[in-house]
Structure 1
Amino acid sequence: MSGEVSLWMDAPPEKVWDLVSDVTRIGEFSPETFEARWRHGHDGPAVGARFKGHVKRNGVGPTYWTPCTVTACEPERLFEFVVGTDELAVNNWGYRLEPRDGGTLVTEYFRLETRRALRLYWLVLGRLRGLTNERGMATTLRRMKDVVEA
């Protein structure tokens, strides 16, 4: 009920951090989330900061907004958020940054919550959804790489 994709970027962690932690820029990179906005008075990354993402699943079909809350925020190292409400969390997304030899290994990952309904969903559609997520994460990271290495 999880997956991850890593990509080497020839850029220092602080430059990569600026992209992965600025949710308002996700529309430049993600094939599914085409915009996001900080909300409830938040204007940047911090544990507990809330934002909403505007999503078009698989890049097709109707769009919808998802509430999100930052759950981990360690500058230049880790940015993670939960999708869903306080009462009904659905999944977690994040970025790990590992500095190496003047560049950064960037890993984007997702992890579904372990509620019974989500486990059932994963049994039925998990392989397909996992592949879609992995393709989307690879696209997102490649687009970020193009920006930080330009």
Structure 2
Amino acid sequence: MTHASTDSYLLEVSTELDASPRDVWELVSDLRRMPEWSPQTRKMLIRGPIGVGTRSLNVNKYGWKVWPTTSVVVRYEPQRAIAFRVPENGMVWTYELDDLGDGRTRLVERREAPRGSTPMSRMLVMRFLGGIEEFSEQIERDMAATLARMKSLVEQDA
């Protein structure tokens, strides 16, 4: 992957789905369901409707390590994109939908740190998660697995 960015935390994966943007959006925008497809997310607790400003309490797991995070939805464009920021580490996770026509959609998952990662997060990743490069490689594999699970779920329902 090549990116014209100085964000060393930028990761991006995509897939094409045999489903309409409406059907893909229905799945992607329901962040409460994130544990169904994300290998590291165990819980995403949200009260009320999802939109810009919605906050969540999350439980993540990697190997035997479990940790909490919070997130806030920073972008919400129905059938186009949803993004949430994790204040603890500075990461922004985005899901973008591209209508390819004929009932097909390209789904992109992106992780970036527009303002850089937090010092505490960098220290914890270095000490407990194998280092920035190794953990980023794992995250990228998990992102591909996330999109594969989403693809499977939405295509079986389409």
Q: TM-score range by the shorter chain?
A: 0.7 to 0.9
Question: SS of 1:24's equivalent?
Answer: helix
1:97, 1:83 → 2: CA distance? Answer: 21
2:89, 2:40 → 1: CA distance? Answer: 19
Match in the other structure for 1:148: 154
Matched, 1:98 2:101: no
C-alpha change, 1:132 and 1:89, in structure 2 (3 Å) is closer
CA shift for structure 1 position 126:
3.0
- 1:51-130 paired onto structure 2 within 5 Å: 51-57=56-62, 60-84=63-87, 90-101=90-101, 102-112=103-113, 113-114=115-116, 117=119, 125-130=131-136
Residue 7 of structure 1 aligns with an amino acid whose one-letter code is T
Match in the other structure for 1:27: 35
1:115, 1:90 → 2: CA distance? Answer: 5
CA contact (8 A) 1:2 1:130 kept: no
Residue 42 of structure 2 aligns with an amino acid whose one-letter code is F
CA shift for structure 1 position 118:
7.6
The percent identity for this pair of structures is 32
C-alpha change, 1:89 and 1:48, in structure 2 (3 Å) is farther
Matched, 1:133 2:134: no
Unmatched 5+ stretches in structure 2: 1-8
Runs of 4+ in 1 over 2 A off after TM superposition: 115-121, 124-127
Question: SS of 2:38's equivalent?
Answer: coil
In terms of fraction of residues, the more strand-rich structure is 1
1:28, 1:106 → 2: CA distance? Answer: 17
**Cα distance per residue 1:29-48 (max 9 Å; x no partner):** 0110022110xxx4232100
Match in the other structure for 2:5: none
Question: SS of 2:94's equivalent?
Answer: strand
CA contact (8 A) 1:29 1:144 kept: yes
Unmatched 5+ stretches in structure 1: none
